[in-house]
Structure 1
Amino acid sequence: MQPGYSAGGVHADPVAWADVARWRKAERARLIEARLAIPAEIRAAMAIKIAEGLDAEIGDVGGKTVSLYWPFRGEPDLRPWMASIIERGGRAALPVVVEKAHPLVFRAYRPGDRLEKGVWNIPIPAEGESVIPDVVISPLVGVDPANFRLGYGGGFFDRTLAALPKKPLVIGVGYNMQRIATIYPQPHDIPMDRIVTASAPV
């Protein structure tokens, strides 16, 4: 779905949407800058805490397909946890942008599989079968108390969730400093089912 459209095909107010879009762009830049300012060793410690939180939320991953992401611009690096999913009998997948303004696809991935550069030069599986995930782990730029996610502005995430044949468990991950009062959700926005964040260790 394009910004300004609801799931039912009803236009959101274009003037209001323009104001929200400008605000989101500025807030996105602020939050990404703040995330990048966190020292790498602190982000690594928080990623361990987030992985523990994901285990608590998901439970046994055996037989489940979990879509993660390749870390980008200070996002929590969950690649060690992704490897542990496979060790515990699950399957891992990575999202792939096939075409602008279209849903993502998910490709099966195991550490060591050949990667190629995708959108924004983020590595994606060069091969790998398309899968339908049972769980989708999505990095946050920002998140509000209603679990609405502020992303990078491409609309891929909401479009993908709307197109999947079955709804996965969707968990947003990030740092506590990314929690904000509202993202001013629009009709096309889809909230996360759960949120897992971590604070910097004291």
Structure 2
Amino acid sequence: MSDDSVRDAKRRLRAEVRLRRRTRSAGELGSATAGLTEHLIALVRDRVPALVGCYLSGGDEPNTRPFLGWAAANGVDVLVPVSRQDGLLDWVPATEGPEQVGLFGISEMVGEVVPASVFQSVDLLLIPAAAVDSSGMRMGWGRGYFDRALASLEQPPPVFAVVYDEEFVDSVPCESHDRPVDGVITPSATRTF
């Protein structure tokens, strides 16, 4: 498959995912959030990481906010990303404090950016995706922020993508710069590759 064909296939799949996400009922969202939160908590309890990196959900993304609330209440240290103009991510401690609208209209927590060395010590990384396939290949949203964050890690921790059940698929189109994940968390299950 040519690079142009792969990019076209990614665009089509992302459009399908966005449409499905926008048409979920409140009941479906509530049920999905409960399942995701249960599996995220179980993963952290099982692995006992000293420091977790986790995306702050917004819009139609699978909801990580109840998990972040649980983490704060249970003494689990979590960093959340802040997008930069240069295509990289900074990381701030997750708090229940104020948020601001960052690049691309994405909500971000307000806080002091931690040094890059702190991000290097993350023990578990929970990242968004448009889809993940049965081999662990992750398809993001096309801006490459999380791919670059993963590439920057000297000793990458286990990386789990968080998606809805129907976004765990047989295969996703991929390019040479795309990186697989170690596992996927959906409302119904946690799978490790």
**Short-chain TM bin:** 0.7 to 0.9
1:198 partner amino acid:
P
The offset of 1:36, in angstroms, is 1.5
Distance in 1 between residues matched to 2:186 and 2:43, nearest whole Å:
12
Matched, 1:30 2:19: no
Distance in 2 between residues matched to 1:74 and 1:166, nearest whole Å:
31
Distance in 1 between residues matched to 2:76 and 2:169, nearest whole Å:
33
Contact 2:40 2:67 in 1 (8 A): no
**2:102 paired residue among 112, 118, 132:** 118
1:35 partner amino acid:
R
* Structure 2 residue aligned with 1:83: 69
Q: Scaled by the length of structure 2, what TM-score is found?
A: 0.85
The offset of 1:61, in angstroms, is 7.2
Which region of structure 1 is more displaced relative to structure 2, 179-188 or 82-91?
179-188
Which region of structure 1 is more displaced relative to structure 2, 150-159 or 35-44?
35-44
What SS class does the counterpart of residue 163 from structure 2 fall into?
A: strand
* Structure 1 residue aligned with 2:28: 42
* Structure 2 residue aligned with 1:152: 141
What SS class does the counterpart of residue 59 from structure 1 fall into?
A: helix
Contact 1:173 1:195 in 2 (8 A): yes
Contact 1:61 1:90 in 2 (8 A): no
Q: Scaled by the length of structure 1, what TM-score is found?
A: 0.82
Classify 1:40/1:128 alpha carbon distance in 2 versus 1 (closer, same or farther; 3 Å): farther
Contact 1:61 1:89 in 2 (8 A): no
The offset of 1:189, in angstroms, is 1.1
Contact 2:50 2:123 in 1 (8 A): yes
Contact 2:162 2:185 in 1 (8 A): yes
Unaligned runs of 5+ in 1: 1-14
Distance in 1 between residues matched to 2:85 and 2:155, nearest whole Å:
21
Contact 1:62 1:88 in 2 (8 A): no
Distance in 2 between residues matched to 1:108 and 1:64, nearest whole Å:
13
Task: State the percentage of identical aligned residues.
Answer: 26
Matched ranges for 1:93-104 at <5 A: 93-101=79-87, 103-104=88-89
Matched ranges for 1:6-25 at <5 A: 16-25=2-11
Where is the helix percentage greater, Structure 1 or Structure 2?
Answer: 2
2:71 partner amino acid:
I
